Amino acid sequence: MALNLLLDTTKKLSFCSSCLASGDLPKVVVGRGNPRARLMIIGEAPGAHEDEKGEPFVGRSGILLNKLLESVGINPEKDAYISNVIKCRPPNNRRPTKKEIDLSMPWLSQQINLVDPLVITLMGATAVKTLLGNNEPISNLRGKWQSWEGRLVMPLFHPSYLLRNPSKAEGTPFSLMREDLLDISNRLKGIRK
C-alpha cells in the first residue's frame, strides 16, 4: 500500500524540476519488476528509451540486463525490482550532478525501505558511490559482498560497460558479471523473505 502510494505520488509529481534545468521536463522513471522482490537492482539514471517509456532499463542495457538475469535463473519481472539512483533523465545523458544525487537520495532511500529487499545490487560507479560512498573502480569492488543499512549489497559492472567490452572470454567483465550474478542467485536461494 505504502509502496503504491509512493509510486503514484512520484508519477504525478515532477519533483525533478527542483534539480534539473528548465525546459521540457523528463518523465519520472520509478521502477519496474516486482516491488515485493527480494532483489533490488539500482542503476544510474534513465536514458532516452527509459524517458520515452517511463520504465528503467528498457534500452540496450536493459535488454542485456534481462538476458544476464535470465541466464542465472532470475526472472527480471518476478524476482527483481529494478530502479535507478536518479529518477529523471539528465539532459543529454550526462552523468548526474552531486546536487541531483543529493536531491534523489531521500526518494531512493524511501524506495529501498518500501521494497525491503534482502539483496541490493549496485550497477556502475554512480550507484556504488551514492550508496557506499566508494570511488574505487568497479573492477576492485565487484565480487565482494558489502552492506548498506543492514542489507546485503553487491557492486556490479554496469551493463553499458559490458556493451562496450563485449568479449565473453574468461576474466573479462562479461564473465565476471556472470560469476557475480550466479553468486547473487545462489545467495537468494539460501535466504527467505
Positions that interact with ligand URA (CB under 6 A): 43-47, 50, 56-57, 59, 61-62, 84
Q: Where are the alpha helices (DSSP H) in 56-172?
A: 60-71, 98-115, 125-132, 138-141, 159-164
CB 189, min distance to ligand URA, A:
27
Nearest CB to ligand URA, comparing residues 47 and 117:
47
CB 132, min distance to ligand URA, A:
16
Closest-CA residue to 31 (of 145, 140, 117, 128): 117
Nearest CB to ligand URA, comparing residues 164 and 189:
164
Give the contacts of 181 (CB within 8 A, at least 6 positions apart).
68, 69, 71, 72, 74, 156
CB 170, min distance to ligand URA, A:
26
Q: At 16, list the grid cell.
A: 525533478
Classify 23 as helix, strand or coil.
Answer: coil
CB 145 within 8 A of CB 153: yes
Nearest CB to ligand URA, comparing residues 125 and 176:
125
Could you give the angle at the alpha carbon of 163 between the alpha carbons of 133 and 51, nearest 5°?
70
Nearest CB to ligand URA, comparing residues 2 and 107:
107
Q: At 189, which helix (H) or strand (E)?
A: helix 173-190
Nearest CB to ligand URA, comparing residues 54 and 143:
54
Nearest CB to ligand URA, comparing residues 84 and 104:
84
CB 161, min distance to ligand URA, A:
10
User: Strand runs (DSSP E) across the chain, as ranges?
Assistant: 32-33, 39-43, 80-84, 119-123, 146-148, 151-156
CB 123, min distance to ligand URA, A:
7
CB 86, min distance to ligand URA, A:
8
Number of residue whose CB is nearest ligand URA:
43
Classify 14 as helix, strand or coil.
Answer: coil
